[in-house]
Amino acid sequence: MHDYLIVGSGLYGAVCARLLTDAGHLVRVVERRSHIGGNVYTEEQEGIVVHSYGAHIFHCSNQEIWDFVNRFASFRPFVNRPVSISGGKLYSLPFNMFTFNQLWGVTSPDEARAIIEKERLVLDREPGNLEEQALSMVGKTIYDLLIRGYTKKQWQKDPKELPPWIIRRLPLRFTYDNNYFNDTYQGIPDGGYTKLIRGLLDGIQVETSVDFLTNRSELQAKARRVIYTGALDEFFGYDLGVLEYRGLRFEHDWFQSENVLGNAVINYGDEEVPYTRRIEHRHFSPTQSPVSIVSREYPANWRPGDIPFYPVNSPENEGLHRKYCERIAEYENYYIGGRLADYRYYDMHQVVGAAMKFVRSLAVR
């Protein structure tokens, strides 16, 4: 009999498992996939650490969280400086003075502000969709060239159909600073995220290729409490409806070259280019490999059974998720957490922080 059964070995489940084990609890982790780590899983190929489900860069300004993850892996400094190709030209991201110079030839913040202010959409109300939000932030030129096509590809919807919050966190800087994140600490685990997850789960009973939902009665009977990190609609057999996600698929190319793209991440803003970005994995971690692996990331329609990536947090989906939360709350000794159970897009440091907060809350229950 275990004190806790944790369903899912992604970052949230792994952090909970580590903290509960350190507190003296007996923990068992079951994972549906054949590997640990969920979507942060990495694997080494040709001496290169490959981010199997898309690029992940750990960034935060919280000393406690940073110190915690560094207990289990050594992080190499990495600053994300993506670029975007649109209309055959390359532009710096996030939008900064390099971008404004590439667009308009301006060299001062005042010149850039003046152009953007002239182009901005002025509303007497809050923006009602992503297009209005973007136009009110950056104006027509940047929206048409660098946002509209990319967003339409990624979400497979017209930006007018998407909620405004999706674009609100996009940085806009009037400095020559192309560091995508403002956080104090930024890096990638030396050896990849799988090494971090292995460190978190060290000494804990972990079983992969185990589907909790098809073995629920047997598994939960052997644990006093269950922490479920999967999708709630799937837990209940989708009987109230299916929560919507955006999917992704990846195609990987091998090159007999030590440098193909010249950058870790390149976005593609043109609608006619079917993928949203290319990732050259060797730029994330130093390697002596004579080859390079480049992944193309394609948006995909998601269906139950596929790997979910981005929740579509429409009012309808939010309402449906609340109903599922109300139902799971009636289950005795069941807890939920993580990006799937919470139906939220989380950065990795937010996942770690949420797991820490949850485990601390157990001590006062």
In a domain, 286, yes or no: no
- Catalytic-labelled residue, pool 131, 132, 297, 342: 297
Q: Which pLDDT band holds residue 76 (cuts at 50, 70, 90)?
A: very high
The answer to whether residues 39 and 164 belong to one domain is no
The answer to whether residues 227 and 335 belong to one domain is yes
What percentage of the chain has pLDDT greater than the value 70? Answer: 99
The answer to whether residues 321 and 213 belong to one domain is yes
Query: How many angstroms separate the CA atoms of 216 and 235, rounded?
Result: 10
Question: pLDDT at position 1, please?
Answer: 93
Query: How many angstroms separate the CA atoms of 306 and 301, rounded?
Result: 9
What's the structural domain count of the chain? 2
In a domain, 72, yes or no: yes
Q: 42 has which bridge partners?
A: 51
The answer to whether residues 189 and 162 belong to one domain is no
The answer to whether residues 161 and 98 belong to one domain is yes
The DSSP result for 51-63, as a single string, is ETTS---EEES-H
Q: Given strand 265-268, what is the order of strands in its sheet? A: 89-92, 83-86, 265-268, 277-280, 292-301, 245-255, 310-311
Question: pLDDT at position 90, please?
Answer: 97
- DSSP-assigned letter for residue 306: B
The answer to whether residues 208 and 328 belong to one domain is yes
In a domain, 233, yes or no: yes
211 touches 32 (CB < 8 A): yes
- Catalytic-labelled residue, pool 110, 126, 169, 326: 169
In a domain, 278, yes or no: no
- DSSP-assigned letter for residue 289: -
Query: How many angstroms separate the CA atoms of 22 and 235, rounded?
Result: 29
The answer to whether residues 56 and 117 belong to one domain is no
- Catalytic-labelled residue, pool 28, 173, 278, 282: 173
Domain of residue 221 covers: 2-78+185-244+313-362
Query: How many angstroms separate the CA atoms of 347 and 176, rounded?
Result: 25
The helix, strand and coil proportions of the chain, stated in percent and rounded to the nearest 5, come to 35, 25, 40
293 touches 253 (CB < 8 A): yes
Is 282 annotated in the active site?
Answer: no
- Catalytic-labelled residue, pool 28, 277, 278, 282: 277
The answer to whether residues 203 and 333 belong to one domain is yes
Domain boundary among 168, 202, 218: 168
Is 246 annotated in the active site?
Answer: yes
In a domain, 195, yes or no: yes
Domain boundary among 168, 195, 216: 168
Task: Check which CATH number belongs to the domain holding 217 and give it.
Answer: 3.40.50.720
Per residue in 159-177, pLDDT (tens digit) is 998 889 888 877 789 999 9
Chain position carrying tokens 């890096």: 187
Query: How many angstroms separate the CA atoms of 158 and 317, rounded?
Result: 18
Question: pLDDT at position 257, please?
Answer: 95
In a domain, 299, yes or no: no
Q: Which pLDDT band holds residue 365 (cuts at 50, 70, 90)?
A: low
The answer to whether residues 202 and 322 belong to one domain is yes
The answer to whether residues 205 and 347 belong to one domain is yes
Q: Give the CA distances from residue 349 to residues 66, 175, 178, 356, in Å, rounded to whole numbers and listed in that order.
A: 8, 26, 21, 11
Is 297 annotated in the active site?
Answer: yes
For residues 201-227, average pLDDT = 97
Per residue in 4-19, pLDDT (tens digit) is 999 999 999 999 999 9
> Is the per-residue pLDDT at 22 higher than 60?
yes
In a domain, 62, yes or no: yes
Is 347 annotated in the active site?
Answer: yes
Is 277 annotated in the active site?
Answer: yes
Chain position carrying tokens 């490999």: 289
Query: How many angstroms separate the CA atoms of 66 and 256, rounded?
Result: 36
Q: Give the CA distances from residue 184 to residues 28, 65, 118, 175, in Å, rounded to whole numbers and listed in that order.
A: 34, 12, 34, 18
Q: Which pLDDT band holds residue 364 (cuts at 50, 70, 90)?
A: low
Chain Cα centroid distance, residue 98: 26
In a domain, 262, yes or no: no
- Catalytic-labelled residue, pool 44, 177, 270, 347: 347
Rounded to two decimals, what is the model's pTM?
0.94
Domain boundary among 168, 201, 220: 168
The answer to whether residues 61 and 138 belong to one domain is no
The answer to whether residues 109 and 70 belong to one domain is no
Query: What 3-state DSSP class applies to 22?
Result: helix
Query: How many angstroms separate the CA atoms of 294 and 278, rounded?
Result: 7
Q: Which pLDDT band holds residue 79 (cuts at 50, 70, 90)?
A: very high
- Catalytic-labelled residue, pool 120, 246, 296, 344: 246
Is 173 annotated in the active site?
Answer: yes
> Is the per-residue pLDDT at 363 higher than 80?
no
